[in-house]
Each structure stands twice: as C-alpha cells, then as structure tokens.
C-alpha cells in the first residue's frame, strides 16, 4: 500500500503581506467561493446545464498564483476554470453569462462551463480534455520568448501560468511539454492542483510517483511542493517562480496540495471519498485561514471582511441577473467564431 502524503508545514506568520494585498487576495477568494456556490444553486434549480465542475476549496491556488502575476501575463486553465477566469480579471457577469450560454458570455455563449476564454484578459481557455491545455500554454510562452529573443521585442517578458490536475501529470503532454520548456528555458509555471482525486481515482493508486513535483528533476527543472490550502504559502512560491521565469531562468513545476470541497462535477454524488478525509480537509478551509491571518496581524477587522463578503454576494447576484436578461446567440451566427475574424 502506498503511504499517504502529509501536507507540508508552512508558517504564514513568516510571510509578510500588506493590508492592500491581503484584502485583494481575500476578496478574490471570496468571489471564487461565492460564485461557485451560486453556480451550484443555479444548476440544481435547472437554470444551468451541461457538466459543471466547481472549484470550492482550491481558491488559494488560483488567487495565490494569478494575483502574483501581471495583467498582461497569460493563464491557461482546465475544465475547472471559473475561478481561474475570475482571478485573471474576467468580469463575473461575463463568466456567468457564458455558463448560461448567452451572447454576452466571455466565449459568446459558444463555450460554456469548460471552455471559458478571454483574449482581453490573456485567458488562453478552459479545456475539457485532461492535459489538453498544457501544449497550448507551452505554445503561448514560446511565442513570448520568440518575440523577445528573435524579434527584439524588449516588452515581451510575459509569464504563463498553466494549471492542471494530478491526473494530467500521468499524460504524455505533461512530459513532452516539461521537456521542451526546460530545454528552451521557457517562462512558464506549471501548477499541479493535486486535489488527491482524478474524478473517482485516488491519486496514490494512479501513479508510480505520487509526489508530482519530484518529476521536475528529470527535466533539470525547479520543482516545489506547497500547501495549496494556504494562500500565503502558494503566493510565496509563485512569486519566486514568476521572478525566475521573467529573468530568463526557465520554468518551475509547483505542486499545490489541495482539495475540492464538492464532487468532481455537480453530477457526481461524491460517494467514493471517505468522510474522515473530507472532514479533515474541510477543517483547513483556505478562506478561513486567510481571514484568521488578516485579523490576527491587524491587517483587517472582522467587520471589514464581512463587508467584503456582502459586496461580493451582491456582485454574484447581479451576475445571475445579467446572465438571465442577456440574449441568446443568434441562429444565423451559428458558424461565427469557427475561424478568426478581422478586428
């Protein structure tokens, strides 16, 4: 039997964060959680259709990485992409409208839950197939390096963050793209959101090396493990990886140990994961952990955090109203957006 891993110890008190950054990250995490809860409500009320994969519990990974990046950096997601999009700056109205299949959605209603995309926010897309986004992210970061080193564009110093789950680390695209990224010193961060389960398959049963970050050593690449339930820990590792990439020192593989608080999708009854495991991870809620840190270090009051939550709830409610009142895609536009259009 494979021995179960323990989450690495990280002391957030050793990590400094300003009040402004702390509140920004807290607001982003609360937005992600509130948005996903509203999605669940809409789905179970029959207002939202198709497969919907929620991100509850993993907010520290999205906020810790993406909020450490610049707005012109690139983000590549998976089928669990709503919160990545929100962290990247895609307005909640556009994300919710896309989930409702409306023309005002960020993918014009053509993508739905698993295919969020925004050129404006450098969101390269959500991808339904496991590991499908990894080559896309590698291509995006290659063009950054090419523009800088071949075309002489000094402004081309963008970093790409590529998110995927533990199941994707067993796929061929993972190994091929890590090899190319290391060989060419591409400015990319590979972020493994290891939530222990690939749908209903326990991670330890599916791979010969459960510690995914160690696979980086095969490619002579920096690899780190981090507590994915601690946004300050994730942020600290992300900042180092971003600085390394922007300095031309190549990629980093970050394995964030985290946990999804809901089933694989909203159609999953979630009967395979043991109750004691879920209870243990629920007790390490990343939003509550950050709130405790902010109040304990006098960076925010409980009243301020409550006000943020109330404001976010209003934003999420507005996004549903926006989505419901938005128009459906026109039938005559069925073949639009299949090919690129002149802008």
Confidence at residue 5, expressed as pLDDT on a 0 to 100 scale: 60
**Residue 255 or 47, more confident:** 255
Q: Note the pLDDT tens digit of each residue in 178-203.
A: 999 999 999 999 999 999 999 999 99
pLDDT bin (cut points 50, 70, 90) of residue 338 is: confident
CA 138 and chain centroid, separation:
17
For 95-151, the pLDDT digits (tens) are 999 999 999 999 999 999 999 999 999 999 999 999 999 999 999 999 999 999 999
CA dihedral 281, 49, 108, 327 (to 10 degrees): -130
Residue 6 has a pLDDT of: 59
Percent over 90 (pLDDT), the chain? 92
Q: Per-residue pLDDT for 13 more than 50?
A: no
Residue 213's closest CA among 174, 175, 254? Answer: 254
Q: Which fold has domain 16-324?
A: Rossmann fold (3.40.50)
- Tell me the whole-structure pTM to 2 decimals: 0.94
Mean pLDDT across the chain: 94
**Whether the predicted pLDDT of 284 surpasses 50:** yes
| Segment 314-336, tens digit of pLDDT | 999 999 999 999 999 999 998 98
Q: What are the phi and psi torsion angles at 255 (to 5°)? A: -105, 110
Q: Are 123 and 117 in contact (CB under 8 A)?
A: yes
Q: For the chain, what percent of residues have pLDDT higher than 70?
A: 95
Quick check: 299 pLDDT over 90? yes
List the chain domain ranges. 16-324
**Taking residues 10-22, what's their average pLDDT?**
73
pLDDT tens by residue, 39-97: 999 999 999 989 999 999 999 999 999 999 999 999 999 999 999 999 999 999 999 99
* 173 has pLDDT over 60: yes
Segment 243-269 mean pLDDT: 97
For range 284-299, the mean pLDDT: 97
Please state, in angstroms and as integers, the Cα–Cα distance from residue 28 to each residue in 89, 110, 201, 241, 311, following that order: 10, 26, 30, 21, 12
């Amino acid at each position: 039997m494979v021995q179960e891993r323990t989450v690495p110890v990280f002391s957030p008190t050793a990590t400094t964060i300003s009040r402004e950054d702390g509140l920004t990250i807290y607001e982003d995490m609360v937005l992600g959680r509130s948005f996903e809860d509203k999605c669940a409500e809409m789905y179970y009320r029959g207002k939202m259709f198709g497969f919907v994969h929620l991100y509850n519990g993993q907010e520290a990974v999205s906020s810790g990485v993406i909020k450490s990046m610049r707005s012109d950096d690139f983000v590549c997601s998976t089928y669990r992409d709503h919160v990545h999009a929100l962290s990247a700056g895609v307005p909640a109205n556009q994300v919710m409208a896309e989930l409702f299949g409306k023309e005002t959605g960020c993918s014009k209603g053509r993508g739905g839950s698993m295919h969020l995309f925004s050129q404006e926010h450098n969101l390269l897309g959500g991808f339904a197939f496991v590991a499908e986004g990894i080559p896309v992210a590698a291509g995006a970061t290659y063009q950054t390096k090419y523009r800088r080193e071949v075309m002489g564009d000094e402004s081309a110093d963008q970093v790409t963050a590529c998110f995927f789950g533990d199941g994707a680390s067993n796929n061929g695209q993972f190994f091929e793209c890590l090899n190319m990224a290391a060989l060419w010193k591409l400015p990319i961060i590979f972020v493994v959101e290891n939530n222990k389960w690939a749908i209903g398959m326990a991670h330890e049963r599916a791979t010969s090396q459960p510690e995914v970050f160690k696979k980086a050593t095969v490619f002579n690449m920096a690899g780190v493990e981090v507590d994915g339930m601690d946004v300050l820990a994730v942020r600290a590792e992300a900042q180092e990886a971003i600085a390394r990439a922007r300095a031309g020192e190549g990629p980093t593989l970050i394995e964030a140990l985290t946990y999804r608080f809901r089933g694989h999708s909203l159609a999953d009854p979630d009967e395979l994961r043991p109750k004691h495991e879920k209870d243990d991870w629920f007790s390490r809620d990343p939003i509550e952990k950050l709130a405790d840190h902010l109040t304990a270090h006098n960076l925010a009051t409980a009243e301020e955090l409550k006000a943020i939550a109330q404001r976010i709830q209003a934003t999420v409610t507005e996004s549903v109203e926006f989505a419901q009142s938005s128009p459906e895609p026109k039938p005559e536009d069925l073949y639009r957006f299949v090919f690129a259009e002149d802008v």
